[in-house]
Structure 1
Amino acid sequence: MIEPIPDLLILPTVRQALAEDLGRAGDVTAQACVPADAELACTFGARRGGVVAGLACARLAIAELDPAATFTPRVADGERVEAGTVLAEVRGNARAVLSAERTALNLFGRLCGIATLTREYVDTVEGTRARITDTRKTTPGLRHIEKYAVRCGGAVNHRFGLDDAILIKDNHVAACGSVGEAVRRAKAFAGHLMKVEVEVDSLAQLHEALAEAPDVIMLDNFSLADMAEAVRLVAGRVVLEASGGVTLETLRAIAETGVDVISVGALTHSAKVLDIGLDAA
């Protein structure tokens, strides 16, 4: 069961998208062609198989324009569906439903696409210890719902923003002078609830990082052989995260090195929108 995002956190995104689409005069096509009191019954349907995420986005888009509309989901977020599956049924004011249609489909299809791609990655590492996680490579303004879609696909979330945890990358190391010095400064700064992660790009840097006992070490673009050696050297003392150039084709071999986490930017920056339609019943 996927814990849903509260409507309060989704509404600003939905409202901004609706405002962008409605512009200064609203849906002039609906106003011209559809009587003001007409009712419309329709269904959201999957035109391609995938994993569901974002039902609330579709529901809220319609409810913003017609608070009296009914939205009846026929599946749940996180559920795998086949092409042709009815995802939800809607009945409401025809002008409102038609005006909300594109916003609902844009957000719903985007999140289903992320969840679907994520599930492919999660399925690929099944049977290994590795967990799949996302990154901050998200669409500006949509991070909270895109990361929710990642969870619907069965993966876990990395940090949400720069204030979640300390993640020391190569430019931080350059500014500090060394991996060890960067980790020392970070640990002196961090409170007892804040984790410290450091990115390393060689086994030499790995040794330097281990001496300072960070919480997580990110292996950036390591070869498979070096990843396996890193797992042997660390021996469970810290969490090891593999990152950089991860694809579905390389994923299984990376997982089999024994790393704990594999971070994949493609989950959010390269997911293909799932084809969903809104059709009159």
Structure 2
Amino acid sequence: MKNTFLALALLLMISAFTSCVVMSPKKYKALLASKDSLYSVNNEQQVKIENLESEAKKLKKDTTLMAEELRNLQGRYNDVDANYAKLKSNTSTEINKLSGDLAAREKRLKEVEEVLRKRDAATNLLKEKLQQALLGFAKNGLTVEIKNGKVYVSLMDKLLFPSGSIIIDEKGKQALTQLAKVLKEQPEINIAVEGHTDNQKVNNLGQIKDNWDLSVLRSTSVVRFLTEQEKVESVRMTATGKGEFQPLGPNNSTEARSKNRRIEIVLSPKLDELYNLIK
């Protein structure tokens, strides 16, 4: 570009000399001014060209860097996209598994609830039957109630035993006979007989050493009567003695101690079906 401008200036000068052998000072000065102007324009254009070349190099370098960055970003995007697809697939599988587990648990819960509903219905029906069968003994200290899904038949010791004795009296046998009639109609019911005493020390009762002995021997007397005399299946029976350690209330009066001296017959439905469900 610089050579082009020089050639153009030289051409103008040659043209001026050839066209006019004798040149006036005014034209000569004008010619020199034109030459200087061309040099100035040439220099300005040269600076612009150099600036453009520098900018072009910078743009080329930036373009190369941006292309490299774009490749890196595309690679990272591909990795993220692959991971997302994998995560989505795993999440879908996990959701399906959890949904299946939840459906199975809901089904199991409904089955357990149905068994418990049947148990509660059977327990309430048993309570009603016992209350009807033992209605005549209520005034003598016999109660029937439901606690924790079980039926509790509570008989105060005065209904069953003479004071300090483990021998069931006639009135007690009558109550147990009525009880046995209901129990034999309910073969799916387990029977636990619990003996309870007050906290008064046992004195002069021969083989009975303490309240533990008294509570156990009274419960076994009831079990023997029900199994041997009334033919309730022995396999359904359990005899235990609780001594003085599970009172109904404080032993601070004669009446309160009388309530604590009792036989509790605990009747509970067999829950084999429920146990099989929750294994």
Asked whether the two chains share a fold, i.e. TM above 0.5, the reply is no
Greater C-alpha radius of gyration? 2
Higher strand share: 1
Ranked by relative contact order (alpha carbons within 8 Å, sequence separation 6 or more), the top structure is 1
Higher helix share: 2
